[in-house]
């Protein structure tokens, strides 16, 4: 199952809104007969590739002796491809080991039930927690209709994202910045606030990481409540990736026409206390409402936020994961990574249910989950 989970990650960034799935076919003595993973949206599923791999090695006639190890319940419905549960039955595979049930309503245990009703021995739950975390974006979207929100921050050892003059280039080193590009390649969309857009006009595209065959750049989402950002920003004109400008009802951004010509769109959402309603925005991103042409609903959102947006998301309990780089630098007075969350007691501090630390070049990366795996 560990191997199947590793295989599943190869589809990251290319299969959404489908889940990441890996599969391994084992012979009766535990030898690997075939491997596969879901590699692109609309393409064959992991089970299909694993069977094809076994057949390519001349083992197709022995699948009656095999065990299929797969990270997600084999589907039981006709989508863009035939049901994988039917494939298992057609190939007479007698045993299936599944990490997790599929939460998608059209499957939701029906694949497992179909296999068992036809005499297949099915074991469920092996590396289940790891599999749920792997597909947390998919599962979050199924359960809530909203994308998984991953907040990325880079701060100095004393918690500053910029010096007192506002300079922030660069807090972290090249290894950390390259990793952020890999994250972008794995996410459906990247979100910034108007302050970041105005100050940096970031490209928000994947440049230091490869895109898979058929994979497109992530959607760029820019918050601009008043619709007052400069029309000449590259985000609105360069066409390097689709851009969604989020404005308040009634705003009339001067860049609307240029944005449409570049393949982007303007999305209007309600306001609350003179701020964009971030919860409503997540609902609309998850539903695919108002998206640029050809852009699918958002399952995963990487937020590359300044302190204002980061604080708002955290204060409203809209963050699922935190990706926080700590650089070995001290600047003293400067811009804090997070502003006042209005917490009075340490017992009220935001706490993580899971957390890891790792080194990335000369920096340290904290990965934290604010919610249990769904």
CATH code at position 116:
3.40.140.10
224 has a pLDDT exceeding 90: yes
120 and 246 share one domain: no
- Mark which of 107, 134, 161 sits at the end of a domain: 134
Statement: residue 80 has pLDDT above 80? no
The encoded tokens of residue 357 equal 């630390």
- CA–CA dist 269, 180 (Å, integer): 28
Residue 9, Ramachandran bin (φ over 0: left; ψ between -120 and 50: alpha; else beta) = alpha
Euclidean distance between CA atoms 19 and 320, whole angstroms: 18
Looking at every residue in the chain, the average pLDDT score rounds to 95
∠ CA 203-314-326, rounded to 5°? 65
Encode pLDDT of 149-169 as tens digits: 999 999 999 999 999 999 998
Any domain includes 320: yes
Using the structure block, give the residue that is written with the tokens 């299909």.
Answer: 48
pLDDT digit string, tens, across residues 319-338: 999 999 999 999 999 999 99
Average pLDDT over residues 357-368: 98
Is residue 68 domain-shared with residue 109, that is, in the same domain?
A: yes
Does a structural domain hold residue 101? yes
Q: What pLDDT does 215 receive?
A: 87
Is there a single domain that holds both residue 72 and residue 177? no
Q: Which of 70, 19, 65, 30 is nearest to 47 (CA)?
A: 70
Domain boundary pick from 67, 101, 134 = 134
219 is a domain residue: yes
178 phi-psi bin (left φ>0, alpha ψ -120 to 50, beta other): alpha
pLDDT value, residue 349: 95
What's the pLDDT tens digit per position in 174-185? 999 999 999 999
Q: Which residues belong to the annotated binding site for NADP(+)?
A: 154, 170, 196, 200, 306-312
Q: Is residue 139 part of a domain?
A: no
Q: pLDDT band at residue 210, thresholds of 50, 70 and 90? A: confident
pLDDT bucket at 260, cuts 50 / 70 / 90:
very high
- Same-domain pairing of 155 and 109: no
pLDDT above 70 for 236:
yes
Task: Please state, for a pLDDT cut of 90, what percent of the chain lies above it.
Answer: 89
Query: Is 276 within the bounds of a domain?
Result: yes
Q: Which residue has the tokens 């084992």?
A: 26
Q: How many domains does the chain divide into?
A: 2
Are both 272 and 352 inside the same structural domain?
yes
Same domain, 161 and 126: no
- Residues facing residue 163 across a β-bridge: 334
Q: Which residues are catalytic?
A: 47
Q: Are residues 26 and 115 in the same domain?
A: yes
Q: In angstroms, what CA-CA distances link 6 with 11, 12, 107, 206, 242?
A: 10, 11, 23, 22, 30
Whether 237 and 278 map to the same domain: the answer is yes
What CATH number does the domain containing 161 carry?
Answer: 3.40.430.10
Q: Residue 6 falls within a domain, yes or no?
A: yes
Do both 252 and 343 map to the same domain? yes
Q: Which domain holds residue 320?
A: 146-369
Say whether both 184 and 157 belong to one domain: yes
- The CA distances from residue 330 to 11, 155, 171, 364, in Å, are 39, 9, 10, 14
So what's the pLDDT on residue 77? 67
Please enumerate, by residue number, every residue annotated as part of a binding site for Zn(2+): 45, 75, 84
Binding site residue list for substrate: 168, 184, 204, 207, 304
Q: Report phi then psi at 346, rounded to 5.
A: -60, -30
In-domain check, residue 374: no
Give the pLDDT confidence of 43-62 residue by residue, as tens digits.
Answer: 999 999 999 999 999 999 99
CA 247, CA 193: separation in Å to the nearest integer?
Answer: 11
Same-domain pairing of 337 and 314: yes
Report yes or no on 141 lying in a domain.
no
Q: In angstroms, rounded to a whole number, what is the distance separating the alpha carbons of residues 293 and 339?
A: 36
Lowest-confidence segment of 214-218, 250-254, 289-293, 365-369 by average pLDDT = 214-218
Which residues belong to the annotated binding site?
Answer: 45, 75, 84, 154, 168, 170, 184, 196, 200, 204, 207, 304, 306-312
82 or 5, higher pLDDT: 5
Beta strand segments in the chain, E:
22-26, 32-37, 67-70, 95-98, 121-124, 148-156, 160-163, 189-192, 219-223, 243-248, 265-269, 271-272, 275-276, 300-304, 321-327, 334-336, 354-360, 363-369
Report residue 42 as tokens: 């609309």
Backbone CA torsion sign across 359, 128, 137, 86? positive
pTM of the model: 0.94
For residues 71 and 214, membership in a common domain is answered with no
What is the arithmetic mean of pLDDT over 86-103? 95
For the cut 90, the answer to whether the pLDDT of residue 8 exceeds it is yes
């Amino acid at each position: 199952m560990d191997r199947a989970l590793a295989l599943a990650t190869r589809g990251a960034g290319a299969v959404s809104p489908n889940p990441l799935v890996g599969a391994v076919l084992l012979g009766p003595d535990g030898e690997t007969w075939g491997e596969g993973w879901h590699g692109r949206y609309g393409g064959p599923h992991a089970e299909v590739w694993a069977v094809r791999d076994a057949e390519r090695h001349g083992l197709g006639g022995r699948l009656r002796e095999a065990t299929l190890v797969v990270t997600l319940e084999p589907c039981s419905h006709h989508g863009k491809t035939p049901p994988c549960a039917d494939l298992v039955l057609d190939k007479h595979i007698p045993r299936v080991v599944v990490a997790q049930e599929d939460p998608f309503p059209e499957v939701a245990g029906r694949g497992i039930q179909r296999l068992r009703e036809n005499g297949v021995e099915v074991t469920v739950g092996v590396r289940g927690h790891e599999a749920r975390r792997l597909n947390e974006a998919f599962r979050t979207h199924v359960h809530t209709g909203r994308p998984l929100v991953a907040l990325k921050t880079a701060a100095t050892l004393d918690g500053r994202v910029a010096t007192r003059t506002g300079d922030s280039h660069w807090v972290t080193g090249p290894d950390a910045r390259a990793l952020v590009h890999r994250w972008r390649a794995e996410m459906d969309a990247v979100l910034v606030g108007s302050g970041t857009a105005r100050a940096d006009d970031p490209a928000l595209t994947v440049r230091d990481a490869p895109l898979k065959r058929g994979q497109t750049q992530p959607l760029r989402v820019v918050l601009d409540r008043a619709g007052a950002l400069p029309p000449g920003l590259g985000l609105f004109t360069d066409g390097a990736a689709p851009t969604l400008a989020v404005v308040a009802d009634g705003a009339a951004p001067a860049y609307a026409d240029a944005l449409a010509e570049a393949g982007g769109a303007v999305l209007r959402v309600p306001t609350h206390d003179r701020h964009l309603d971030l919860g409503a925005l997540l609902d609309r991103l998850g539903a695919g409402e108002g998206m640029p042409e050809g852009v699918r609903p958002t399952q995963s959102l990487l937020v590359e936020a300044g302190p204002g947006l980061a604080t708002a998301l955290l204060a409203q309990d809209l963050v699922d994961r935190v990706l926080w780089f700590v650089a070995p630098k001290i600047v003293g007075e400067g811009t804090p990574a997070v502003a006042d969350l209005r917490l009075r007691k340490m017992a009220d501090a935001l706490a993580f249910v899971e957390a890891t630390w790792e080194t990335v070049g000369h920096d340290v990366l904290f990965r934290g989950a604010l919610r249990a795996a769904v």
